Amino acid sequence: MSISNALLSKLKDPSLVTDKALIGGDWIAAGDAGKTFEVTNPSTGDVIAVLPDMNRAEASRAIDAAHVAQKVWARKTGKERAAVLRKLYDLMVANADDLATILTIEMGKPFAEAKGEILYGASYVEWFGEEAKRVYGDTIPGHQPDKRIIVIRQPVGVVAAITPWNFPNAMLARKFAPAVAAGCAMISKPAAETPLSALSLAVLAERAGLPAGVFNVVTSKDSPSIGKEFTENEKVRKLTFTGSTEVGRILMRQGADQIMKLGLELGGNAPFIVFDDADIDAAVEGAMISKYRNNGQTCVCANRLYVQSGVYDAFARKLAEKVSAMKVGDGFEAGVSAGPLIDRKALAKVEEHIADAVSKGAAVALGGKPDARGGLFFEPTVLTGVTRDMKVAREETFGPVAPLFRFDTEDEVIEMANNTEFGLASYFYARDVSKIFRVAEALEYGMVGINTGLISTEVAPFGGIKQSGQGREGSKYGIDDYVEMKYLCLSI
Ligand SMILES: NC(=O)C1=CN([C@@H]2O[C@H](COP(=O)(O)OP(=O)(O)OC[C@H]3O[C@@H](n4cnc5c(N)ncnc54)[C@H](OP(=O)(O)O)[C@@H]3O)[C@@H](O)[C@H]2O)C=CC1
Ligand SMILES: O=C(O)CCCC(=O)O
């Protein structure tokens, strides 16, 4: 068994799931050393697949394949590249149920949410397919009478991608799509917890007509070795990574010797602020989405909820009421809104943050402990009376815990919200227009949701400042990360 029947039997098209890695158009069943690793369903602990555990030499071969393929791919017109991406988009939409099934079984999120992720990932493929035709240059008036200056934008070349387990389709799709649209080739290493979604994307890309070697997927449990090859191999011109700030820092150091171009989407510690003049019901709705999406395991999830004194008690009561209606369970069960956490370490971190807050005076308004069904399930939690000396104020919990801080003034809450090394997403609810502009401009974050808890879309630039990373994904700016600017100075 290398793909379980439990998974195969759920798929309309079982050939979408594979236990082979992809290098240079070859589907590879076994790594050089013959080593393998298991992928498990976090809801049940059952093994769902066994995959080749590849090493550094295999990553190097994938880079060689991408290097050869990229030269040819870059010579295609934007329109030709766009056609392949459009086909892939159509295939992703047509197979969304199967892709979502694969995602739910390896990652745990509820099926409806997984399907939302597939369509979200597909939207980047559609968007950047369209952008492939618009990688415009520029002309600049010459600085001397005989000079003509032209700016062209060319693909950076071979791009390496390392992606996390929390959005195993969308995080890869939004790196793959702009890279391929720009004329780059990609080698990717998905998280060992969730490699099947990446491989399914590769299956569909092949069906869409993407030439061999333009997209390669290396499966491995030894991410440090693969990361070293990705950052030290001189054929790799850019590394794009989504994951923790800690690993982002390691990759940045490793890439320093060859001045590697880096796209980094790292950790967040998102503040979610509710002012006295906010529409409280709307703020509760926004908090539900922002906090409990993907069971709190999203880098843009609200991590600290600041509520002004005048509405604190009402907000806490209404939020706890809504949260108490959430259904925890296996992502395939009807009506489930929170799946399991990804692993024991994640569950331990959630428990640690709650214990720390309670030991320093916070109260558990709801939840606060592992769910009765056991395993990796945890009760959606609301904490009140949270203060800045608690771990939840500084560290990303990455779990279903809403810690409610009380504040009195605008200046005070801005200071608390910005008092972190992170700067990815932030949210606030208010009605006063002047305050809306003041607060939006004062928040030191790459993204600000105003009277909304959901900011993610392919049409907007996703990314952070400070130690939350660099570069932007999505939007008209997203392609910039995958092209180099070259200026031609012509004497006539
Ligand atoms: N910004 C975001 O979207 C995410 C943030 N996080 C944050 O990070 C915390 C830890 O989660 P975790 O999954 O461990 O995140 P990591 O940063 O460890 O993992 C993200 C990706 O990096 C890979 N990786 C890990 N170590 C290295 C390395 N030395 N060199 C190259 N690649 C590496 C992982 O592979 P493998 O898993 O195979 O080791 C995975 O593909 C979370 O609790 C959360 O706070 C986590 C995930 C996403
Ligand atoms: O990096 C993450 O945690 C995923 C972000 C999902 C999104 O685009 O909203």
Model confidence pLDDT, tens digit, residues 453-474:
999 999 999 999 999 999 999 9
Residue 332: burial class (beta carbons within 10 Å; 0-12, 13-18, 19+): middle
Our answer on whether the CB atom of 128 is closer than 6 Å to any ligand 2 atom is no
Q: What ipTM did this prediction achieve?
A: 0.96
- Predicted pLDDT of residue 30: 85
Exposed (0-12), middle (13-18) or buried (19+): which is 269, by Cβ within 10 Å?
Answer: buried
Confidence label for 33 from pLDDT (cuts 50, 70 and 90): confident
The residue whose two tokens read 């013959």 is 34
Residue nearest (by alpha carbon) to ligand 1 atom 39 = 223
Task: Give exposure, 142-179, as e/b (b: 16+ Cβ within 10 Å).
Answer: eeeeeeeeeeebebbbbbbbbbbbbbbbbbbbbbbbbb
Measure CA 50 to chain center. Answer: 24
Residue 430: pLDDT band by 50, 70, 90 thresholds? very high
- Helix ranges restricted to H, 9-110: 56-74, 78-94, 96-107
- Give me Rg for the CA atoms of the chain: 23
One-letter amino acid identity for 183?
G
Answering whether pTM is above 0.95, one says: yes
Burial class (CB in 10 A: 0-12, 13-18, 19+), 37: middle
pLDDT of 174: 98
Q: How far is the CA of 301 from the centre of ligand 2 (A)?
A: 8
Residue 197 has pLDDT above 90, yes or no: yes
Asked whether the predicted pLDDT for residue 1 surpasses 70, the reply is no
CA dist 429 → 264, 272, 302, 442 (Å): 28, 8, 13, 15
Among 167, 175, 459, residue to substitute to test ligand 2 (most atoms within 8 Å of Cβ): 167
* pLDDT for 31: 83
> CB of 110 within 8 A of CB of 336?
yes
Q: Do 396 and 303 touch, CB atoms closer than 8 A?
A: yes
The string of DSSP letters for 202-236 reads HHHHHHTTPPTTSEEE---S-HHHHHHHHHH-TTE
Per the listing, tokens 């009561």 go with 317
Over residues 94-107, the pLDDT tens digits come to 999 999 999 999 99
Cross-strand bridge partners of residue 338: 328
DSSP label at residue 189: E
Cβ–ligand 1 contact at 470 (below 6 Å): no
Decide: 265 in ligand 2 pocket, CB within 6 A. yes
Q: Each residue of 157-167: pLDDT tens digit?
A: 999 999 999 99
pLDDT in tens, 152-196: 999 999 999 999 999 999 999 999 999 999 999 999 999 999 999
Pairing of strands 185-190, 215-217: parallel
Ligand nearest to the CA of 218: 1
- Is 333 known to be catalytic? no
Predicted local confidence at residue 167, as pLDDT: 98
Region 311-335: what's the mean pLDDT?
Answer: 98
Kindly indicate the confidence band of residue 315, based on its pLDDT and cuts at 50, 70 and 90: very high
Share of the chain above pLDDT 70, in %: 100
In the set 117, 126, 265, 285, the catalytic residue is 265
